[in-house]
Amino acid sequence: MLSPGEAIDLFLASLKRPARLLVAISGGSDSTGLLTALCEAAGDPDESGITILAATIDHQLRPESADEALAVNLLCDQFSVEHRIQAWTGEKPETGRASAARIARYQLLCQIAEELQATAIVTGHTLDDQIETITMRQARDPERREPEGTAPREGRSGDAGMSSSVLINGRFWLFRPFLKTRRNAIRDFLLRRGMGWIDDPSNTDERSERVRVRLALAGLSDAKADAWRTAVDLAQNRRRSVSEAAAGLLRQSATVWQASAARLDARALSAPPEVLFYAIGTLIAVLGGREHLPASEPFDRIMSRYLRGESFRETLGRVLLYNKDDGLYLARESRDLPEMQVSMWQRELWDGRFEIVSHVPAACTVLPGQGDVATGSYPDVPTLIARAAWRSLPHVIVPQEFKDVQVQITPVLAPFRQFLADFDLGLADCLAQLMGLTTIPRPPLNDLIRKT
């Protein structure tokens, strides 16, 4: 495990400079320790090339949150750090509030990063957070469940947990330099400096799954935590290896037409099943406009038929799969395709698969594809797949007087649109190329360090 100082030194050594780092700080021990350690290590920005900025997201879920944000502002003043406070306004959902708050938090952090011209966002997630996250995921999957507090076995890629770096909204890289550092070590670091922190009462509310898991893991020894760290490292290496192999498989055997239909030729069957399943599962998520890969039970059943060489027509994750002698074809099925209105300059996500930006000074209607398949759009693709793919494309109806005004339609990689872990960067790049998109932004890290 790493001390807070060691973790920050390694992180800053990995960064390209100059860099402007936006620290997400709530006032809790982890984020306060992060800001403190970064400010100490970075020193004078004119000398180090590292400028520290800070942002607090006030979720407005507790009466005390506004005063806590002001307390953080005073701390930032002590470090001469520019600090922004941004409230999550509007009505809050009655269910799924934690997930909604998380998405809102990252959206607002990206907004602040844009305003402050930050290079990257930094958060204070710790090894304890990592252990809690994996434990919660294991609890939802009986096949992966371990005895309470026990590190996952065999470095399984499904136990990779949180990545140390993740691309948010396709725009900003977020770093988690404390993922190999324990919370108690951060608190000791602060206490040695005579510093305190804010304890959020929601962290003791046992209605929260994470709080229940945190309490169950209380007292986890450093030795056991270190075993977790080793297991997570192995799992992340395996996850990265599988993802990179899946990217290689798709480059070798996949063809994509109009960002709406795909084929895997027979060469794909020579890949290891874990790699093949990850490649096809990700392709289904992309073509289906879904953030997550298909559910394991129906997916495994279909893949078993595929591996046996059977001919079949199946639907899964809103995608039609048609297996023939010359390959496996995939396209969005022609059901439940949306209709929507798009206003000028409005950025809308259509069916989870296409982003639409209108430059038309009037409302436009977006419908599923109309009419017969355009000649040459899907060469050598079975009619069943070609028709489904064509109908799954967005068709924009523009008022006659503005028919020459541009409406921009861009394919979206749904499973990577909001959060792209660095494990999957190569796979996302491959899919972006197949879909005719630009290259994914690289993390602002030194090349040598990024490769090791």
This prediction has a pTM of 0.92
- The CA distance from 233 to 225, in Å, is 12
Residue 28 in marked binding region: yes
Could you tell me the sign of the dihedral formed by the alpha carbons of 189, 191, 192, 195, in that order? positive
- The CA distance from 302 to 296, in Å, is 10
Give the residue from 124, 133, 157 showing the smallest Cα distance to 217. Answer: 133
Helix, coil or strand: residue 373: coil
Q: Judge contact between 135 and 84, C-beta under 8 A.
A: no
Which contacts of 270-276 are long-range, i.e. CB under 8 A and separated by 24 or more positions?
A: 271/245, 272/245, 273/303, 273/307, 274/157, 274/242, 275/242, 275/245, 275/246, 275/249, 276/246, 276/249, 276/303
Arch. (CATH architecture) of 4-237: 3-Layer(aba) Sandwich (3.40)
- The CA distance from 441 to 380, in Å, is 34
Total residue length of the chain: 452
Residue 392 in marked binding region: no
pLDDT of residue 158: 66
Residue 44 in marked binding region: no
Q: What is the mean pLDDT of the chain?
A: 92
Residue 31 in marked binding region: yes
Q: Judge contact between 1 and 184, C-beta under 8 A.
A: no
Using 50, 70 and 90 to split pLDDT, how confident is the model at 370?
A: confident
Q: Where in the chain is the domain with CATH 3.40.50.620?
A: 4-237
Q: Is the pLDDT of residue 157 over 90?
A: no
Helix, coil or strand: residue 439: coil
C-alpha distances in angstroms, 345 versus 110, 114, 361, 398? 20, 19, 9, 14
Exposed, middle or buried: residue 412 (CB in 10 Å: 0-12, 13-18, 19+)? buried
CA dihedral 97, 109, 70, 8 (to 10 degrees): 110
Question: What's the pLDDT tens digit per position in 201-239?
Answer: 877 777 788 889 988 998 899 999 999 999 999 999 999
Q: Is the pLDDT of residue 153 over 60?
A: no
Cis upstream peptide for 18 (omega within 30°): yes
Range 248-255 average pLDDT: 97
Using 50, 70 and 90 to split pLDDT, how confident is the model at 295?
A: confident
pLDDT of residue 93: 87
pLDDT of residue 451: 47
- The CA distance from 173 to 421, in Å, is 9
Residue 289 in marked binding region: no
Residue 377 in marked binding region: no
Tokens linked to 31? 């984020």
Indicate the range of 98-102, 364-368, 391-395 predicted with least confidence: 98-102
